[in-house]
Amino acid sequence: MTVTVEIGRVRGFVLDDPVAGVLDNTEYPLGGLGFVDVTDFVREVNMIRGKNRDLDRFSSGALTVQLNNQTRYFDPFAGTALDPVPRVPIRMSYNGTAQFVGVVDDWNYAYDPGGVSYAEVEATDDMTKLARQAVLSSGTAIEQTTGERVTNVLDQFTVDWPADKRDIDTGDSVVLGSNFAGENALEYLQLVETTEQGQLFIGKQGDLVFRGRSDATPTTAGLVTFADDGSGITYKRVFVTYGTELMVNRATIQAPNTSATANNELSQVTYGVIDEEISTLEIDTALAQSLADFTVAKYAEPEYRFEQLVFDITRLPSSDVATVMGLEIGDVVQVKFTPNNIGSAIDQYAQIIGIAHEVGFDTHDVILRLASLTFTSLVLDDVEFGKLDLYTLGF
């Protein structure tokens, strides 16, 4: 198994203690926090990050690890070096490439009278921390870009997000001054994300990532191609959807100081009214109307789109495995698919909005969740997304 799982331990050096105060020992390091490699005990790993569909917000990443506990190594009363407790760090990697960094929420144990037992670790990334603990404490923000507002929130005393765990773009939209005291940090940051029409998520190395609209706009630079005809990395299974779950033909933008509505009447006559109300921060009326117009332009028609790609990592060449493992939320891919090898290939571009791993004793599937890029903003000079007749100027 080339997946590595490491769990933090809280034991650290204690001055003058006869056991924990011995210099140069490995069980009680001076740094306080160390990591224990538990890969040899791993039975199963399931990890998911991102979101399920384009209209959703990004949710907390989750990791579940099932561990062999025959020797009671993970028993909190067994006195092992790991000392398993909640709220310690956990990380998962593949051949040295990080895939998940988070915090242990729960330890669950199952014991069989015959002696078979296992421990199950449930963990989430630090988006959960924002949701559970941080309530904004003070301040009336001045007019600033969305990226500046994100930084303002992260600097709050009640949030205190580490400076070395941030990847924050400037953003394209300007939000007006507002008093956000008492707001939940995650809910407020997600309002910033919606206002910007950007991306807010926890990256695979544990950083909080905010992508502004321009930086979240796709390009073909570094494009990875997946195909069933030998022209790209081979996938195990493809899931396609064609329906109304991503349709909006009446969009209402609600801001504390204004509102705006846009309709696509032809879509409404054909499919019925499909309404979406979108809450934002304080913005000017022109920006609110642009966002409403953009929403119905993008989602007014049903679309045949690739929803998921599944890869069997155990059957791919090592170079292709490295490429798949290096992908991150927001990356652009090209997907080629000929159903049942009949007719012409379907060739589309998509953006990764979710990544999952399902690892067993001798299996390892990676699942990519995708958002269509058939309707996306124009990117000047890009060989694909710079085509004036295919892509929009955005808002």
CATH of the domain at 67: 2.40.10
User: Residue 359 to residues 12, 40, 58, 69, 308: CA-CA distances in angstroms?
Assistant: 32, 14, 23, 18, 17
Model confidence at 355, pLDDT cuts 50, 70, 90, reads very high
**Of the given ranges (30-39, 213-222, 244-253), which has the lowest mean pLDDT?**
213-222
In single-letter form, the type of residue at position 198 comes to G
Asked whether the predicted pLDDT for residue 28 surpasses 90, the reply is: no
Same domain, 295 and 331: no
What is the number of structural domains in the chain? 4
Identify the bridge partners of residue 42 per DSSP, sorted by sequence position.
Answer: 67
**Residue scoring higher pLDDT (191 or 383):** 191
SS3 state of residue 234: coil
- Residue, of 157 and 367, whose pLDDT is higher: 367
pLDDT score of 112 more than 90: no
pLDDT higher than 80, residue 311: yes
Asked if residue 326 and residue 275 are part of one domain, the reply reads no
Residue 284 confidence (pLDDT) above 60 = yes
Contacts of 98 (CB under 8 A, 6+ apart): 91, 92, 204, 205, 206
* 376 and 241 in a common domain: yes
Same domain, 152 and 280: no
Q: What is the mean pLDDT of residues 175-189?
A: 88
Residue 360 is predicted with a pLDDT of 93
Asked if 290 and 187 sit in the same domain, the reply is: no
Which of 69, 90, 125 finishes a domain? 125
Domain span at residue 273 reads 248-301
The pLDDT tens digits for 334-345 are 999 999 999 999
Q: Which one has a higher pLDDT value, 19 or 42?
A: 42
Q: What is the pLDDT of residue 269?
A: 96
Do 252 and 294 reside in the same domain of the chain?
yes
Same domain? For 349 and 325 the reply is: yes
Tell me the angle at which helices 146-154 and 185-196 cross, rounded to the nearest 10 degrees. 170
Q: Give the confidence band of 267 by pLDDT, cuts at 50, 70, 90.
A: very high
Output the CA angle 93-98-102, nearest 5 degrees. Answer: 90
Give 179's pLDDT tier (boundaries 50, 70, 90).
Answer: confident
DSSP secondary structure code for residue 41 in this structure: G
User: Which contiguous run of DSSP H or E holds residue 210?
Assistant: strand 208-211
**pLDDT for res 249:** 96
Task: Give kind and range of the element (H or E) at residue 90.
Answer: strand 89-94
For 166, 228, 229, 251, the CA distances from 341, given in Å and listed in that order, are 45, 9, 9, 39
Question: Per-residue pLDDT for 115 more than 90?
Answer: no
Task: Say if residue 231 is in the same domain as residue 362.
Answer: yes
Question: Residue 373: which CATH number?
Answer: 2.40.30
pLDDT of 30: 57
Residue 337, φ and ψ in degrees, nearest 5: -150, 130
Query: 71-80, 249-258, 379-388: which has the minimum mean pLDDT?
Result: 379-388
Query: How confident is the model over 238-249, as pLDDT tens digits?
Result: 999 998 888 999
Looking at the structure, tell me whether residues 227 and 367 fall in a common domain: yes
pLDDT of amino acid 134:
72
CB burial readout 100-132, b (16+ within 10 A) else e: bbbbbeebeeeeeeeeebbbbbbbbbbbbbbbe
**Within this chain, do residues 235 and 362 fall inside the same structural domain, yes or no?**
yes
CA neighbor of 93 nearest in space, from 41, 37, 52:
37
The pTM of this model reads 0.90
147 and 258 fall within a common domain: no
Q: Where do the H-state alpha helices sit in the chain?
A: 127-132, 146-154, 185-196, 213-216, 265-271, 285-299, 318-325
Give the confidence band of 386 by pLDDT, cuts at 50, 70, 90: low
Per-residue model confidence (pLDDT) at position 17: 52
Query: Strands 59-68 and 89-94: what pairing?
Result: unpaired
